[in-house]
Structure 1
Amino acid sequence: MSTASGRSPATAFPRLRRAALSALVLATIVILLGAWTRLVDAGLGCPDWPGCYGHLTVPSGEETIAKAQARFPEAPFDAGKGWPEMIHRYAAGTLGLVIFGIAAACIRHRRVGAPAGLASFAAGFVVLQAAFGAWTVTLSLWPQVVAAHLLGGFTTFCLMFLLFRRLQGRTGNDDLPPEPRARILALRPWLYGGLVLLVLQIALGAWTAANYAAVACTDLPTCHGSLWPEMDFAAGFNLLQSVGPNYLGGQLGNEARVAIHQSHRVGALVVLVTLGALFLAVIRKARGSALAGAAGTGLALLLVQVALGVLNILLQVPLAIAIAHNAFGAFLLLGLVNLLVRVERLRVAPSNP
């Protein structure tokens, strides 16, 4: 891709490209901080939004804490819960400002090829994501909002990657001779199907986290010693849960949580087989190309993510592994998106004779 001035985006917009890379790194940090906040049960560490007990930072000092507690008597003050929540908010707010700045610069330079549409969409999506962040607190960790907020974080991460790639221009030798090129393009619908499966699995993971179902089963390959334990799918996947209760720790019964957990397990197996086969097919058909390298990276991320999921179950969700599982879910999604971007470029690039 070239700009209206004939230069590549990487040459025309070096500062924007660096800003987009910074936003991508910051989005990674925000995802990690979000997982940390959720896993240490600090999602309601501050009962209000965007401040914390009416302050811009976590209250300190006996008098300030006493006033904060009097203002929110239903939410006992705990600085150990407040700081993870506020650190996450500070990082997310900084990311939002960076994205707004990128969008403004892209709009200003749109006549010379800056991706104003994509950047503007990202900025608008950040506003929606901020709203979900606020609702997460004001609706007391309502699972629907918590899950949507997690998915929104992954979406923001992917948008920053796509923006960086647009500003980076064409990199790597993705072009192939006509025969392997045709075989790779024949896989394109299957790769998009794999993307849909992966997004559904991430949504299942978000629902598992939002309903505290990660430790509903602690043995493998069985659950409570059975391959098909008692499960309540109707309650586990009831999207009409009432608004009002405090959902910290979850409100579902054990059989409902087991249904969610087992669904996530089955989804993981389906994704492993499907994406594993697709990545291997691309590696075989595009051997020696940058496309094969991208598929190899995706396969490695898939295997690491499955291994982290197994360790989460066997070790009962230790903090470091649980955060890594969350992060590698985002990295796997990015790996598949990167592969699809490269496959799409095969459609418009001239093939080698």
Structure 2
Amino acid sequence: MWLQLALTGLGVAVIPLCIVFLSKETNKHRKLIAVTLTLTFELIMFGAFTRLTDSGLGCPDWPGCYGQANPLLSHEAIKAAEVAMPHGPVTTQKAWIEMVHRYLAMSVGVLICAQVLLAWMRKKTTDISPWLTTSALLCVCVQGAFGAWTVTLKLQPVIVTTHLLLGMGLLALLAAVLEQHSHQIKHVSSMAPNVAKALILPATFALILLFIQVALGGWVSTNYAALACQDYPLCHGQVVPTMDFEHGFSLWRQLGMTTNGEYLPFPALVAIHWLHRNFALLVIVVVSYVAWQAMRTPGFESLGNKLLLAIVLQFLIGVSTIFFSWPLLLAVLHNGGAAMLVLLLTMLNYRVRHASHALSSPI
């Protein structure tokens, strides 16, 4: 099974590798990073689709599916599980969704291994440090471990949320690696060093707040609290509804249960949802301010415009999921919007620091 899975992962990775090495771009290394970043973004969105379609246990073992490399070989076991639990988490469709997610994750791992190999081979011929790329490899290994625990620990909320955070962290690392190989800070010479430095603190603060919000969003999703409040901006017609933060934010517990093994009370779900939607307001204000400052800074106007557009769209999608009762497409797009914000803010943070360093260094 392990050999078959490895060959499948390599087979999926062949497609993006062909895109890289058959392209006309001269810098194949940078092209590989860009393709890996794109595939990681898609993997995050497909991971959201996997979670939101309740396919996380479509194959209740790991790394295979009922001890096989793909659902075709596990057909009889899947059908038996469906007969035993007609409304359970195992169906042929969900098994394929889960396994496709794993195949994509394996292909990302292969592409990052290729990046690390190239980075260390070129260490002596370039001034680019390979350690940032190596940290991405370490991140994907830890991410794989949490992916396994997601299944073996039966979708335990803290594990699933950490899995999401690590995915976003991997995306941020790959964005930083791409920026490291791009050196495309435009109009740097027209800026004073203090202009670039003035963006460092708010941009860093915005990225930290965004990751907290991603964690809160993951907590909402994995606890199935998306519909705990179905009105906006109020919640059950109140500014501050009845909530249970103690049970809602107890981290080490089973899905849908309290730490005492009782069913999670509804006010706990309300608390989870309410905190996520209200913390979003702080994130919107801070990210919008950072976008506005970037729009006023030479060389960062385009990135600032994209960041402002992304935060506006993310807010509209988030509100729409409430009014339209959390349709699947909007929910997946909401995850994609969070990933796009992580991507843009990481790029801004890297470029601001790069520009500040370049302008401050003596010529």
Both proteins in one fold, TM over 0.5: yes
What does residue range 70-89 of structure 1 map to in structure 2 within 5 Å? 77-89=90-102
Q: CA deviation at 1:18?
A: 1.1
User: SS in structure 2 opposite 1:265?
Assistant: helix
Q: CA deviation at 1:59?
A: 3.5
Provide, for residues 182-220 of structure 1, a one-character-per-residue CA deviation record: whole Å limited to 9, x for no partner: 244223212211221111111111111111111111111
Q: CA deviation at 1:136?
A: 0.2
Partner of 1:34: 47
Question: In the alignment, which of 104, 109, 122 is matched to residue 122 of structure 2?
Answer: 109
Question: In the alignment, which of 344, 350, 354 is matched to residue 341 of structure 1?
Answer: 350
**One-letter amino acid of the structure 2 residue matched with residue 205 of structure 1:** G
Instruction: Assess if the C-alpha contact under 8 Å between 1:115 and 1:163 holds in 2.
Output: no
Q: CA deviation at 1:268?
A: 0.6
How many Å separate the matches in 1 of 2:85 and 2:331?
31
How many Å separate the matches in 1 of 2:278 and 2:256?
32
Partner of 1:232: 244
Question: In the alignment, which of 119, 128, 132 is matched to residue 146 of structure 2?
Answer: 132
Instruction: Assess if the C-alpha contact under 8 Å between 2:164 and 2:218 holds in 1.
Output: yes
Partner of 1:5: none
Q: Using a 3 Å threshold, how does the CA distance of structure 1 residues 276 and 63 change in structure 2: closer, same or farther?
A: closer
Say if 2:31 is the partner of 1:22: no
How many Å separate the matches in 2 of 1:199 and 1:77?
32
How many Å separate the matches in 1 of 2:132 and 2:191?
31
- Greater Cα offset, 224-233 or 185-194: 185-194
Instruction: Assess if the C-alpha contact under 8 Å between 1:58 and 1:82 holds in 2.
Output: yes
Partner of 1:3: none
The two structures have a TM-score, normalised by structure 1, of 0.87
Q: Using a 3 Å threshold, how does the CA distance of structure 1 residues 37 and 207 change in structure 2: closer, same or farther?
A: same
Partner of 1:321: 330
Provide, for residues 5-56 of structure 1, a one-character-per-residue CA deviation record: whole Å limited to 9, x for no partner: xxxxxxx981211111110111011011101000101110000001011111
Ranges in structure 1 where 5+ consecutive residues have no aligned partner: 1-11
Q: Using a 3 Å threshold, how does the CA distance of structure 1 residues 227 and 243 change in structure 2: closer, same or farther?
A: closer
What does residue range 201-350 of structure 1 map to in structure 2 within 5 Å? 201-242=213-254, 252-284=264-296, 286=297, 289-350=298-359
Partner of 2:65: 52
How many Å separate the matches in 1 of 2:224 and 2:77?
33
Q: CA deviation at 1:65?
A: 4.7
Give the CA RMSD over aligned residues.
Answer: 2.8
Q: CA deviation at 1:70?
A: 11
How many Å separate the matches in 2 of 1:316 and 1:69?
28
How many Å separate the matches in 1 of 2:300 and 2:116?
30
Provide, for residues 235-287 of structure 1, a one-character-per-residue CA deviation record: whole Å limited to 9, x for no partner: 111113259979xxx95321001001000011111111122122213323x2x
Q: Using a 3 Å threshold, how does the CA distance of structure 1 residues 69 and 53 change in structure 2: closer, same or farther?
A: farther
How many Å separate the matches in 2 of 1:277 and 1:244?
38
Instruction: Assess if the C-alpha contact under 8 Å between 1:211 and 1:251 holds in 2.
Output: no
Say if 2:173 is the partner of 1:159: yes
**One-letter amino acid of the structure 2 residue matched with residue 22 of structure 1:** V
User: SS in structure 1 opposite 2:359?
Assistant: coil
How many Å separate the matches in 2 of 1:142 and 1:98?
29
Q: CA deviation at 1:161?
A: 1.3
Q: CA deviation at 1:303?
A: 0.6
Partner of 2:10: none
**One-letter amino acid of the structure 2 residue matched with residue 109 of structure 1:** R
How many Å separate the matches in 2 of 1:61 and 1:279?
50
- Greater Cα offset, 13-22 or 254-263: 13-22
The two structures have a TM-score, normalised by structure 2, of 0.84
Q: CA deviation at 1:77?
A: 4.1
Question: In the alignment, which of 173, 177, 188 is matched to residue 187 of structure 2?
Answer: 173
Q: Using a 3 Å threshold, how does the CA distance of structure 1 residues 177 and 167 change in structure 2: closer, same or farther?
A: closer
- Greater Cα offset, 342-351 or 140-149: 342-351
How many Å separate the matches in 2 of 1:183 and 1:173?
12
Q: Using a 3 Å threshold, how does the CA distance of structure 1 residues 244 and 298 change in structure 2: closer, same or farther?
A: closer
Identical-residue share of aligned pairs (%): 36
Tell me the number of residue pairs that the alignment of Structure 1 and Structure 2 aligns: 332
Say if 2:112 is the partner of 1:99: yes
Instruction: Assess if the C-alpha contact under 8 Å between 2:136 and 2:173 holds in 1.
Output: yes
Q: CA deviation at 1:87?
A: 0.8
User: SS in structure 2 opposite 1:316?
Assistant: coil
How many Å separate the matches in 2 of 1:151 and 1:198?
11
Instruction: Assess if the C-alpha contact under 8 Å between 2:307 and 2:341 holds in 1.
Output: yes
Q: Using a 3 Å threshold, how does the CA distance of structure 1 residues 142 and 33 change in structure 2: closer, same or farther?
A: same
User: SS in structure 1 opposite 2:176?
Assistant: helix
Partner of 1:145: 159
